[in-house]
Amino acid sequence: MELKDKISVLRGVGPKKAEILQKNGIRTLEDLLCFFPRKYEDRRRETRIDQLQPGQDYLIQAKVLSRKYSGNPYKKNTPLNLLVADDSGTMEVVFFNGRYIANLFSVNKEYSFYGRVTENFGRLQMVHPEFHPLGDPGDIRGILPVYPQINGISANEIRKLQLQLKELYPSVREWLPREIVEQNRLADPAYAIKNVHFPDDGRQVLEGKFRLIFEELLTLETGLLFIKNDRRRDGKGAVIDGRCSDRFIQGLPFELTEGQKSAWEAIKSDLASERAMNRLVQGDVGSGKTAVAELAMFAAAENGFQSVMMAPTELLAKQHLQSLSSDFSPYGIRVGLLCSSMKKSERNQVLTQLQSGEIQVLVGTHAVISPDVQFKNLGLVITDEQHRFGVSQRSLLTQKGENPNVLVMTATPIPRTLAVILYGDLDISQIRTMPAGRQPVRTVQTDESGRRKVYRFVREQMEQGRQAYVVAPLIEESDKIEAKSAERLHRELKELFADFRVALVHGEMKQDEKDAIMKDFAAGSIDLLISTVVIEVGINVPNASVMVIENSERFGLAQLHQLRGRVGRGEALSYCFLICQSDSETAKERNRIMCRSSDGFEIAEADLRLRGPGEIFGTRQHGLPELHLSDLIRHGDVLEKAKEAAKKIIEEDPTLSKEKYQKLKERVKKMFGEEIKLEL
Ligand code: ADP
Ligand code: MG
């Protein structure tokens, strides 16, 4: 057996299991080795039966006194009841798929059982415990690793596969240079791997984990530093006089808020300096970030520079195009659009006009970073909702100009630790004020029983000429299934609201279909829009006053907040209904927070607090590679150490060409994958 072998060499992995594992990113034995437990269960000591308390998990060791079926033994779902005993008492063990399992037990033999103890008519029982014959190899006792759920493979099976890998541990060799190992007191990698999977005590787990988390974070930091280095950010940037925008501000139909004003002041002084701007503007949904971006683009155009604004979806890019065109055309500034669904001839025309400088402001999706997009004189690069982009996408865009000014806008409040990793030297402005007259969205949580009332309310609002969104449940990460449930909801609501114009938009639809529907909704010719989460980002329809979120328990706080931000964008009072179908405490707490607060920063903090210990901070959402073991929030101290080490490495060897860094280089490439076009 070797680390690079395919997963199918293991006992118990046929073609079907191999496929499931592959889908979860586990191709080789090495991948499985790096599939780490989510938590551990302490099953080192068994508990006497007379000490058991209902509602908790226990390990017991007991003899089977009798086996019997409660029903027809020839039917496959007939429950099997075992009466088991130790010196202190007896209890019941129940399996519902009894017929298959009966043969695994013999009367008078001893077994270990591990599971939740419940009470049934005054008798203690365990339903479907894990079990193991006493004395057989491969015990269920000890400190047991609990692996993350993979659909189609039980936790127990994964543990058995991991056991087979034990013979590989010695072949895991030290791959970090000695000075790094010593400075950071890292455990040997083979020791670390063994103890993270199968520890004998808690201290070993910690030592092992520290080493593995350090490895992961060192790889992350080295990759990020490499990308940053590559940006050559120290040259002189375009100097732009922001005072040119005064007349544009005077022409706006509204007064800038305090938050917008101070962000703009900061941007103005960045633009005026020879050092290129590198600024993040954080502001809640609806706080008016686009207006601030417009001021910067206006000034750039007036100073003879081109700007580009990249948005995460085509829908959003087109919406920006519309507002930018109408705001800029009175001043003779030309705005162009680039996205992947455009016809070749249209696209070519835009490319020509960009190169000639005819188009002064370009908006688009990530299509704007493709290599054939060339500017005449790019002075300002803006990314909207930046968390949707990878770090390297951002850096590719800046490479299209001579050290252009960079403005990054996001509605996702980012915890401090993470902001430092993502942006390093970025300056941060926050817009914490809302435009005048904006009222917080009134938020109500309910369950199935409240649905009729909610719909009645939706009807009343529509009768008053307002529009509404219903967000269809997020079922799993499959667009197809989501589309189906949205379609079902659409059929039901079309019937219920037969006298209104009801439409559906979901991710499986073609781009131009989606566009057409969104356009109709924005124009007011659709009253009720049923949607999957495609509307999450940035859609702006001020007349919409109701947001109904189905299965709100399936959304995270940040997402709920984003969704709710689609309403309350005009002056009238808006409403959000969270229909929760779960009794989970966390889900309810999330809904309670939503009802209580409308401050995105407060909600983000609560979100972090509510994350369970096993939940890893979603780095993917922020454009970072996926991490297996590390949590950027909880492992902040390890992160600091890893960052120090990475800094030294990149200073010493900027292209990682030294022999001692070859393994690290491989890992960086693997972690960042396509995202990073490193000439490493
Ligand atoms: P976001 O920060 O979510 O990107 P937008 O820039 O889309 O917010 O702004 C939301 C809405 O508020 C837009 O319709 C915009 O015209 C309007 N708006 C922006 N600034 C102000 C302001 N100072 N006063 C009133 N309305 C504003
Ligand atoms: Mg926006």
pTM of the model: 0.67
Q: Give residue 381's pLDDT.
A: 94
Q: Is the CB of 291 within 6 Å of ligand 1?
A: yes
Q: Is the CB of 285 within 6 Å of ligand 1?
A: yes
Mutate to test the pocket of ligand 1, among 248, 254, 318, 324 (most ligand atoms within 8 A of CB): 254
Alpha-carbon 471 to chain mean position: 19
Q: Is the CB of 540 within 6 Å of ligand 1?
A: yes
**Which atom of ligand 1 is closest in space to residue 538's alpha carbon?**
3
- 217: which residues sit within 8 A by CB, 6+ positions away? 627, 630, 635, 638, 639, 642, 643
CA of 600 to the centre of ligand 2 (A): 14
Closest residue by Cα to residue 421 from 227, 236, 154, 140: 227
H/E element, 428:
strand 427-431
Q: Give residue 475's pLDDT.
A: 58
Task: Give the ligand with the smallest distance to the CA of 316.
Answer: 2
Helix 416-423 vs helix 636-652: angle between axes, to the nearest 10 degrees? 10
Residues with pLDDT less than 50, the chain:
613-614, 678-680
Closest C-alpha residue for ligand 1 atom 20 = 288
Helix 585-596 vs helix 600-610: angle between axes, to the nearest 10 degrees? 170
CA distance 469 to 547: 5
Q: Is the CB of 256 within 6 Å of ligand 1?
A: yes
Closest C-alpha residue for ligand 1 atom 23 = 256
Residues 366, 371, 374, CA angle at the centre, nearest 5°?
95
Nearest 10 degrees: CA dihedral of 83, 84, 85, 86?
-170
Q: Is the CB of 561 within 6 Å of ligand 1?
A: no
CA of 288 to the centre of ligand 1 (A): 3
**Which atom of ligand 1 is closest in space to residue 256's alpha carbon?**
23
Alpha-carbon 533 to chain mean position: 14
Residues 392, 394, 396, CA angle at the centre, nearest 5°?
70
Q: Which residue matches tokens 């080295």?
A: 222
Q: Is the CB of 412 within 6 Å of ligand 1?
A: no
Closest C-alpha residue for ligand 1 atom 13 = 288
Find out whether 334 and 359 touch, Cβ atoms under 8 Å. yes
